[in-house]
Copies of this chain bind each other. A is one copy, B any other.
Amino acid sequence: MPQTGRSGCPINLTLEQLGDRWSLIVIRDIMFGNRRSYGALLAHSEEGIASNILADRLKRLTASGLLSRRPDPKHKQKGIYSLTEAAIQLVPLLAHMGAWGCRHTEPSEELSVRAELLDKGGPPLWEAFMDELRYLHLDAPRPKRSVFQELQAAYEAAVEKASRRQREEG
C-alpha cells in the first residue's frame, strides 16, 4: 500500500524532487539570469526571496542533484552554483510554465518577453538554449548561437521601452 505522500508516479516524483515554488524560482534565476552566487541571487531577486529561504533551497537543490556547488576561486568560503544536466532538462517545463502564465495570468510586459520568445521558438530554441546552458554550467563546447543573449537583449529592450514610456507619461 502506498504511504501517505508517496507514490511511484513520475509526475508526483517530479513535484517531490522540485520541492516548492521557491526552488523553481531559484532555478529560473540561475538559468535565465545566470546568477551563480548566493549574493547575486539574493540581491537581484524580483520576488525579494528571504535570505534564509534562499540558503535553504540552495542546500536542498544541491543535495537533490539539481545544482552543484564549487568554491569561488576569489573567496574560498563562497560558492558558485551550476545547473546539473537534470536541471538543464527543465527548460521545456519552465518554457511551458511561462507560456501558460502569459495566457492565463497577467504578467508584466517586460517580464513576459523572454517567455513569449521561448514559446514561439518551441523545441528547436529550447534545445539551442540547453546546449548553451551546458556550455555555461557543464563546460561543454560553446555553441555558435547564444539564445541567452537573444533573450537578454529582448528583455533589456522591453525594460528600456517601459522606462521611456514612464518618463514620457511622468
Q: Which A positions have Cβ atoms within 8 angstroms of B?
A: 2-17, 20-21, 24-25, 28, 46-50, 86, 89-90, 92-94, 96-108, 110-112, 115
Contacts and interface: CB of A to CB of B under 8 A. Distances in A.
A96 B98 contact: no
Given A11-B101, A96-B96, 16 more contacts: A6-B47, A8-B111, A9-B46, A9-B47, A9-B111, A10-B97, A10-B115, A11-B98, A12-B21, A12-B47, A13-B107, A15-B97, A16-B21, A16-B105, A89-B104, A93-B96
A79 to B, nearest CB: 23
Contacts of A94: 11
A40 B112 CA distance: 38
In this complex, which of A11, A16, A49 has the most chain B Cβ atoms within 10 angstroms of its Cβ?
A11
A4 B47 contact: yes
